[in-house]
Structures are given as C-alpha cells and as structure tokens.
Structure 1
Amino acid sequence: MPTKKEKILIVDDELIIRELLFDLLTDEGFFVELASDGETALKIIRDDSEIAVLFTDIIMPKMDGIMLIHKARELNPGIVPIIMTGYATIETARAAVKEGAYDYVLKPFNISEIKTVVNNALERNRLIQENARLKEITELFKISENISAIRDEEQLFRFILNAALEHTQAKRGSILEVVEDGKYLKVVASTGLPSEMNGKTIPVDFKTISGMVVKNLEPLLIEDITQNPNLQNFLIGLKNKSFISVPLQRKKSEFMESHPLAINEQDVIAVLNVTDKSDGEVFSETDLKVLKIIANHGASAIENARLIHEIESAQREIVFTLGEIVETRSRETGSHVKRVAEYSKLLALKLGLSNKEAEILRLASPLHDVGKVGIPDAILNKPGPLTPSEFDVIKTHTTIGYDMLSKTKGVVLQSAAIIALEHHERFDGNGYPNGKKGKDIHIFGRIVGIADVFDALGVERVYKRAWTLDEIKEYFGEQRGKQFDPDLVDVFFSNIEEVLQIRERFPEKD
C-alpha cells in the first residue's frame, strides 16, 4: 500500500483548483508540488525524479494535458498521470486514457473520489517502480554474471563500455585506464571516437572531466558541458551537451585501509565516459546510477582478472623454479626445463592440439622429473654405472612424482602428474613404470618423452659430450616406433628449424 510519502504534482492554470487539491492532499499526508502550466511542470519533473502522480488539467494554455503526459513520461516513465476535466463526456475520458492517462476525475471534485483515485495511482506507481527495479536487477545480474566470466582485460574493458552504452542509450563512450602510477590515462576501449584514439596515452589533467574524476574519486553528471569551458575534454572532442564520467574504483578492505602496501596502487583503475544520448536527450540520475553499478561490477572483475593473472604467473614461476631445482640436483640446468617446455608446446601445436592444451603442457612439463627429489643423492649422482637394484630405485622417480602431484586439483599440476608418471614409457611397451604401449601412453607423456631426450642428447655435460644433430636424428630414426611414437618423431623433425630456434633462445648458462 502507498506510504503517503510519495510526491504528487498538480498542474492547472486555475489557482483555485491548485489550492483546493493542495489542501486536500496535504491534509492526507502527501507531499504536493504545484505548477500553473505544462512547461513549469516539466521542469519540476526533470528536477525531481520522485514525482509519483501527475494531476493535470486537460485544457491549458501553452501545452495541453495530453502533450504534458507524453513529455512527462519521457522524463519519468514511472509517473502515473491523472486527467482533470470539466467536460463530463465519456468520449473525453476515453480519449485521455487512450493517450496515456491512468484515470480521470471530473470537476467539480468529489473528495472521496479524489482519495480513491490517488491511492490507486500511487499503488500503480509502486508496482511500476518494483517492476523497473526487478528488470534493472535482472539486467545488472546478467551483466555481473557475464563480466565475472571474462578473464582477458581487453575484453573486460570492451564489455563494460558496451554495457554502459546499451543501458544509457548513449552512442559514444570511452574507457581511459589509469597507468604509470596515475600520471597518464590510456584509451583502452572506445565507441564513436576516431580509430587513432585507441591506445592513445595522455597526461592526467585535473582540469578535464576524466582528470577531475580521477582526482576527486567522484562521478560527474553534466547536463550541458558547453556552459563550462573548463570542462572541455580535448581527448573526447565533445560536441554534445550531456555527459557522464564514472570512476572504476579499486575496492579497499578494512585491513588494506589500515595496512597500506608499500607498492603504490592507484584508487582509480579507469574512467568510464559516455555521451551523445539517443535523440539528444539529457542523461538522468537513473543513467548515473546504472553506470555506477556497472563501474562497480567492472572494477571488481578487473581486479579479479588481475589477481588471477598474478596467481597464475606466480604458479608458473614456482613450477619452473621447482623444475630447475630438481634438474640442478641431477646435474642438469635450469635452461633444460625451459627448452623442454618450449619443445613440448611446439610439438603439441604442430600435432593439432589447441592453444590452451599446448600451454597447459608447456606449464606442466618442467615437473616431469620432480620425483627425483625422493631419490638418494648417492644413486642420483653416482659417477659410474648403476646396478640393477639402483636403476630400480631411479625408476621410482616416476611414481614418486605422480604421488606428489596427483593430489592437487589444478589442471596444470594434474597434467604434470601424468607427465611425471608416463614420460619414460616406451611406444613398444618396454618402458616404465607400467609398461604402457602405443596410444595408451598419454599424448603429454609421449611428447615430453621426445622433447626431454632430444634436449639431453644435444647438450654437453661433465659426463658426456654433446651429440651432433645428425647423430640425434640417427638415434631417433632407430628408436622410431620403439622408444618413441613414430608419428610424433616425424612431426618433431619436420619442424626442426623451429626447434633449433628455441634452443638458441634458451642457451646453456655457464
């Protein structure tokens, strides 16, 4: 039910009618505003979005009641119009309702009827507002859901801008990322700007709109930018009057507020700008509200994407560092695991695996020998030949590595577990630990098996010389279909030039 706090606007060119309805409705506890003509009424509606009910005479100078209803609805779609008329004809009433009036009352007024019509109109307004809020929540939920699924920053910025343009009916807009410790703004997404603006970086100028938003951490809603020459933003090159600029602001927890990092993180991630609203309309407070919500969701998504990227980068560093430690312990070098990783990715791509699968393999392969941490130094680094029992101990590094890695849930470490277990299996079934054969050996294991042996043969160690490329090719030719998958061997050596380029990029370190 209505709370009687809603606002009602009375529009009539007769003072006595305005005063009569004012007294009647204020006595009932309503907030009432008055206007003597349509133009004054529209200004009130434009300035006050909380007007719930519009009482208007149907016959007035300058603008009649029907025209006022149409224009009022453009400014406030939720406003409920009621026509007042002294023309007691059913045709007039029907025409008014057909043109958008919710109801009508006849002059002279019946007080009881006025109360009933007002309460019904307010109930109607409440339902309209609830439906609008529900629609807004649904739309914003979709935006939030879609934003949260995007991990690429460039795609995120583009999605945020498109959502802002769609929900404000704007034709032009941009997102300017704050870069270089807050000293510059970079155009990372735009619509309606010259193409050369994309990627452009400019110094932050606190006299421009975007600069003020960065400085003050507050959005700006400007109805007529031409009235203030200090707000001319030379980057945007505005010719339109109405403009909104909203910060995508970094969230700070209570802990971060009281324990700031030594690293300087700017409060504003980026600035979202929209202009050129459809049909030349002025942006409203509702538009600003929607943009603030989009900006909040967008800022959170960007921070999450950056955090995930940092975590993934840290994981990659940990994987490669651990792989290097393992190889160093067994008299290999850190460059070995990097080359094996790149060889493996190259071969995966040449075999037709997806970019994602190839990248997972690249990240997982450095841990192929991680199980060697469980092998005693006396055996792992024995200068002479191994006894059969010692070789049996060496072979356990595959199962040790698998047991270490298989308990994890991440796809990279799960893949690393498979590689650790199967990279010493042989295509002919004479490998270890499980004697798997042919295509029963996981493709990752077959690939890393080739990459690992190729690199080990081609580098010099204190206990052996580096093999020549011809010697390596001859060995792989002999082991084609025995130790190695013949199809993979063919693909690997048909791309040997790219393989050798990788070797040059990751040389042995002294």
Structure 2
Amino acid sequence: MTDMVFADEAPETSAGSATATKVLDPWVVMIVDDDPAVHQVTQLVMSDFEFSGRRLQFLDAYSAAEARELLGTRQDIALILLDVVMETEHAGLDLARYIRGDLDNHHVRIVLRTGQPGQAPEEHVIKSYDINDYKEKTELTKRKLITVFYTALRSYRDIMIIEQSRLALRRSIDAITKVYDSHNLRRFASAVLEQVAHLLGYEAQGLCASRVSAYAASHMEGHLKVLAATAEYSRLLVDEELNTLPEDVREALERALREQQSFFEPHRCVGYYRSSSGNESLLYMVFSEPVDASARELLEIFCANVAITYESLLLREEIQETQRSTVYIIGEAVEKRSKETGAHVRRVGELSALLAEAAGLRSNDVEFVRQAAPLHDVGKIGIPDRVLNKPAKLDAEEWEVMKTHARIGYELLNKSDKRILQLGAIIAHEHHERWDGGGYPRALAGEQIHIAGRIVALADVLDALVSRRCYKDPWQFETALSYVREQAGLQFDPNLVRLLFERMDAVKSIYERFPDLEA
C-alpha cells in the first residue's frame, strides 16, 4: 500500500490574505424588457444587493432579438428577468424555449414577469415552458424582488457546483486513464504534468522527479532525477539531479523529502509519494490561481492513483530492462564467439525498430522487434569455431554447416512461449530468406517471409557490410547503401528499402549512438 501524507496548510501570509479578500466576480443578470423604465427601476432597487460575497452586473436587452445576440456571446449569465410581450405577443416565451432548446442552456435561471398576465396564463406557462418562476410586475415589490434574486441565484450557484463537480470527476477519470495508458516512466511523468493542470482547470507549470530505491533500480539509488518538465521548466535537463535545480525548486523538493509529506501554498504545491518498497517521487507544480480546498481534494485523489501507477511502472521497467539486457548479453556473447567487435546486435535492434515503425507496426510490436532482433544469430552458438571464424571464403560443405544456424536458432527460441522469444525464433529462422525466393533455409519468397524476418534481413545485411568481419574489411557506408538499393526486389523487400532511404538521418543517428569499439 502506498503511503501518502499531506501536511496542514501553512498560516496565510499577507499575500495569502490579499488573495482571500480578492473581489469576486459579480453575478450576471440579464433584464429582457421593451420598457426602459423596468430596467432602470430594477437596477436601482437592486443596486446594493449582494449574495455570497458577490454583487450584481446587469445586461440590458430591449427585445428578444437583442437577448439572443447577447446569449450567443455570454456563458456566465445566472439569471434572466424575462418579459412576455415585446416585439410579438409571445416573444418572451419563444426566447425561453430557444434558451432551453436551441442553446441547450439549463443552468441559467429564468424568471418570467409580465404586465399582461392574460396573454400568458401562469398555469399554462409553468406547465409548458421550462422556466423557474412566474411573477406579475404589479406584485414585484422590492422585498419580493430581493426574494426572487436570492432564490434564483442560490439555485444557480448550487447547479454550477454540481456541474463543476461533474466536470472535475470526468477530468479526474480522463486524467487517471491517460496516466495509466503511459507505457514508460518518461511518458508517465509527462502525462502527470499535463493531467494535473487539466484536472484542476488551472494553468500549471512544473516537473516530476524521482528517487528510487535499490530494489527498484540500483543504478539510480539515492539520486533524485527529473523525469519530465513543462515548457516553463524546459531548461531543466531530463535526468538532472536535485543539486542542479533552481534554488526555490530545490528547497521546496528538499523540504518535502525531509518531512516526507506533501505541502500546499496558495500558488504552489509539492506532492510527496513514498511507496511500500521505498521509492520516492515528487510532483512540483506552480499554478496560475490559488489552489482551493476542492482542488486540493482532487489532487489528493489523483496523486494517490499516480503513486500506485508509478510503482507498477517502476517494476515493469525493471523487468523489461532486465529482459533487454539479457537479450543483449546473449547476442553479444555470440558476437564475441565469432570474434566480431562492436555493437552489431544493438544496431540491428535499433535499425529494425526504425523500419518496423516506418512499416506501420503498432508501438508494442515495434518494441518487440527491437528486443527480439538482437537474437537473430543466436543459432551460431551451434556452429563449430573452424567454420564460424574461418578468415576466408567457406567451401560448399562449410557453407551448408553455416546455414544450419538459422534452424538451430529457431529451435532454441521456439521452445519458449514468451512473445519476444517466439518472435526471436521467427527472426532467427527467416532473416536469411530472400524476397526473390533464393534464400535459406526454406526458400520463402515475398510476403511468405514474416515482416519481422524481412526487416531484420535488411538491418542485418546493412550493418554486416559496414562492420569488420574475420573474413572482410568494413565497407564504406555509401557503398553498402548502393548495394542495398541494387538488391531491392531481389534480396530485400523493396518497400522496406524505400522506407530505409526515406529515414537516412535516423539511420545515421543510430551509427553515431552505437559506434564500433575496436578490441
């Protein structure tokens, strides 16, 4: 179970007090009446009215047509005092129907007031139109008008509270869903930052940082790393450590780590989350508006789910990293046995992932290709040294022995029911097949060859050409590319060759990241 403690809020500073006494936005009231005197009297009578710390702002419309124009530009009208007879005998009633039907506005309170009750009998109007009150102008004394305002505005306030809670709940569900959909810690951290601001409806800037225990990831033990930052904090490098952060950010994070709890200030919060296995993560946010009690409650709910997800992602990433490392260790062990130096298996994995993504494979399948591709030559473990490391061209008998590595690799990996090893088995078996059917071990052709086999065939040959081997010197990169282009439609899937050349900058970047290190 994840521990999450939120500290009591600090006493308000003078800045906080100023915020607390800030003048609130007024209630917006629209008067729709063709008699100017009605507007003047209403505003005069209600000039000193105040409800829930907010005064009134009046909008004047002298016809239903004017009211429609105003309603098209304002979403904050709380109350409409609506006359019935204006440009037509039923202009007010038609407007009421327009508000509820065409505009789909069920929040604004509509009080119908008429000087000609015979034109719109009360029982008929209340039954047939979605209005909230019906008054004859002659009965609206100051006391009764004040009562109408209190009743209508209180109702509008409560409706908006319910609506805001509904929207907040939807935002929190959406936010948690998007965070859960993150597939790694980087995306997770970015999603947290994006969704906190979305959740609260505030503009927010900040960063996510993490300090993980030896259990979760020993290479990061004891260090706080920045996982993600919003645009305002983009100057912070990913993986930047605590002591290099701006002083105000560093002090806030140190306080949360020292006290092992979250804290809130009017425009800033630091969330502290510690999991049962000892991982610590921090969420630092600066808001455009003060964080009120309801926003704080939402943050607590959201952050509890964030902490649980974070813990799961840490464990998943550790398992995936262990799996990737194991695959590379096996691939590199085979590579060293064949006396090949450098980072061949890593480059083949990255080139294959690049081509898989370009070919339109789903993101999960791209990752599977990246992890399985380094196993393409695992069958060489069963090839005798005299064949594997012969510094000259193989004779016919030796070549037949060498070709068996495809079958050996398939049989080794196919015994597992794990998806990566199953895909590795296919790749080991098919990466020497040719598009024109002249390959081995089964002489498959075209799309009979699995897409992963076709991808790794291209990646493997390109990298083998530019790498040093016991039987050859490395080719120049451009010479190798010329060979690949010539073999499109013969040895290689022509569409994959096209995709490779369209992404040549990314291909060259892989060689910069994983250069050969001569023994």
- TM-score after normalising by structure 2: 0.54
- Measured in 1, the distance between the counterparts of 2:344 and 2:236 equals 44
Q: Is the counterpart of residue 396 in structure 1 residue 407 in structure 2?
A: yes
Deviation at 1:505, TM superposition (A): 4.8
Task: Specify the alignment match of 2:173 in structure 1.
Answer: 141
Select the residue among 414, 418, 424 that pairs with 1:408. 418
Contact 2:270-2:282 at 8 Å conserved across structures: no
Go from structure 1 to structure 2 and tell me whether the alpha carbon gap of 1:173 and 1:320 turns closer, same or farther (over 3 Å shift).
closer
- Measured in 1, the distance between the counterparts of 2:249 and 2:497 equals 62
Deviation at 1:369, TM superposition (A): 2.2
Go from structure 1 to structure 2 and tell me whether the alpha carbon gap of 1:93 and 1:160 turns closer, same or farther (over 3 Å shift).
farther
Q: Is the counterpart of residue 367 in structure 1 residue 382 in structure 2?
A: no
Select the residue among 50, 56, 65 that pairs with 1:67. 50
Select the residue among 84, 98, 101 that pairs with 2:151. 101
Select the residue among 274, 280, 299 that pairs with 2:287. 274
- Measured in 1, the distance between the counterparts of 2:356 and 2:387 equals 30
Deviation at 1:293, TM superposition (A): 2.2
Contact 1:323-1:369 at 8 Å conserved across structures: yes
Deviation at 1:299, TM superposition (A): 3.6
**Superposed CA offset, 1:347-389 (max 9, x none):** 667x66579576654432111123445x475897597853798
Task: Specify the alignment match of 1:238 in structure 2.
Answer: none
Go from structure 1 to structure 2 and tell me whether the alpha carbon gap of 1:97 and 1:361 turns closer, same or farther (over 3 Å shift).
same
Task: Specify the alignment match of 2:259 in structure 1.
Answer: 216
Which one-letter code corresponds to 2:259 in the other structure?
N
Go from structure 1 to structure 2 and tell me whether the alpha carbon gap of 1:91 and 1:207 turns closer, same or farther (over 3 Å shift).
farther
Task: Specify the alignment match of 2:473 in structure 1.
Answer: 466
Q: How does 1:436-447 map to 2 (within 5 A)?
A: 436-447=444-455
Matched position secondary structure for 1:177:
strand
Go from structure 1 to structure 2 and tell me whether the alpha carbon gap of 1:100 and 1:436 turns closer, same or farther (over 3 Å shift).
farther
Task: Specify the alignment match of 1:287 in structure 2.
Answer: 295
Which one-letter code corresponds to 2:176 in the other structure?
S
**Superposed CA offset, 1:235-276 (max 9, x none):** xxxxxxx33424141322xxx3xxx6xxxx5x3423334353
Task: Specify the alignment match of 2:70 in structure 1.
Answer: none
Deviation at 1:146, TM superposition (A): 1.9
Range 195-204 or range 329-338, more displaced = 195-204
Range 445-454 or range 153-162, more displaced = 153-162
Contact 1:244-1:274 at 8 Å conserved across structures: yes
Consecutive unaligned residues of structure 2, counting only runs of 5 or more, are: 1-19, 22-45, 56-138, 212-219
Contact 1:244-1:288 at 8 Å conserved across structures: no
Deviation at 1:319, TM superposition (A): 1.5
Task: Specify the alignment match of 1:422 in structure 2.
Answer: 430
- Measured in 2, the distance between the counterparts of 1:176 and 1:479 equals 48
Matched position secondary structure for 1:429:
coil
Q: How does 1:175-186 map to 2 (within 5 A)?
A: 175=207, 177=209
Task: Specify the alignment match of 1:22 in structure 2.
Answer: none
Task: Specify the alignment match of 1:448 in structure 2.
Answer: 456
Deviation at 1:173, TM superposition (A): 4.6
Contact 1:173-1:272 at 8 Å conserved across structures: yes
Matched position secondary structure for 2:176:
helix
Task: Specify the alignment match of 1:326 in structure 2.
Answer: 334
Contact 1:401-1:420 at 8 Å conserved across structures: no
- Measured in 1, the distance between the counterparts of 2:354 and 2:225 equals 38
- Measured in 2, the distance between the counterparts of 1:285 and 1:479 equals 67
Deviation at 1:422, TM superposition (A): 1.2
Consecutive unaligned residues of structure 1, counting only runs of 5 or more, are: 1-41, 44-62, 73-88, 105-120, 223-241, 278-282
Go from structure 1 to structure 2 and tell me whether the alpha carbon gap of 1:359 and 1:509 turns closer, same or farther (over 3 Å shift).
farther
State percent identity of aligned pairs.
24
Matched position secondary structure for 1:101:
helix
Go from structure 1 to structure 2 and tell me whether the alpha carbon gap of 1:400 and 1:508 turns closer, same or farther (over 3 Å shift).
farther
Contact 1:371-1:399 at 8 Å conserved across structures: yes
Matched position secondary structure for 1:276:
coil
Deviation at 1:318, TM superposition (A): 1.7
Contact 2:236-2:245 at 8 Å conserved across structures: no
- Measured in 2, the distance between the counterparts of 1:161 and 1:504 equals 29
Contact 1:178-1:268 at 8 Å conserved across structures: yes
Q: How does 1:51-62 map to 2 (within 5 A)?
A: none
- Measured in 2, the distance between the counterparts of 1:490 and 1:69 equals 68
- Measured in 1, the distance between the counterparts of 2:203 and 2:174 equals 21
CA RMSD of aligned residues (A): 5.5
Q: Is the counterpart of residue 150 in structure 1 residue 200 in structure 2?
A: no
Go from structure 1 to structure 2 and tell me whether the alpha carbon gap of 1:97 and 1:397 turns closer, same or farther (over 3 Å shift).
farther
Contact 2:171-2:199 at 8 Å conserved across structures: no
Aligned residues: 376
Contact 1:164-1:274 at 8 Å conserved across structures: no
Go from structure 1 to structure 2 and tell me whether the alpha carbon gap of 1:69 and 1:486 turns closer, same or farther (over 3 Å shift).
closer
Which one-letter code corresponds to 1:466 in the other structure?
D
Go from structure 1 to structure 2 and tell me whether the alpha carbon gap of 1:134 and 1:442 turns closer, same or farther (over 3 Å shift).
same
Go from structure 1 to structure 2 and tell me whether the alpha carbon gap of 1:91 and 1:432 turns closer, same or farther (over 3 Å shift).
farther
- Measured in 2, the distance between the counterparts of 1:504 and 1:219 equals 40
Task: Specify the alignment match of 1:231 in structure 2.
Answer: none
Contact 1:243-1:276 at 8 Å conserved across structures: yes
Matched position secondary structure for 1:174:
strand
Task: Specify the alignment match of 2:68 in structure 1.
Answer: none
Which one-letter code corresponds to 2:267 in the other structure?
F
- Measured in 2, the distance between the counterparts of 1:478 and 1:103 equals 78
- Measured in 1, the distance between the counterparts of 2:252 and 2:261 equals 11
Q: Is the counterpart of residue 314 in structure 1 residue 348 in structure 2?
A: no
Which one-letter code corresponds to 1:396 in the other structure?
R
- Measured in 1, the distance between the counterparts of 2:385 and 2:227 equals 60
- Measured in 2, the distance between the counterparts of 1:138 and 1:330 equals 58
- Measured in 1, the distance between the counterparts of 2:225 and 2:513 equals 39
- Measured in 2, the distance between the counterparts of 1:174 and 1:270 equals 8
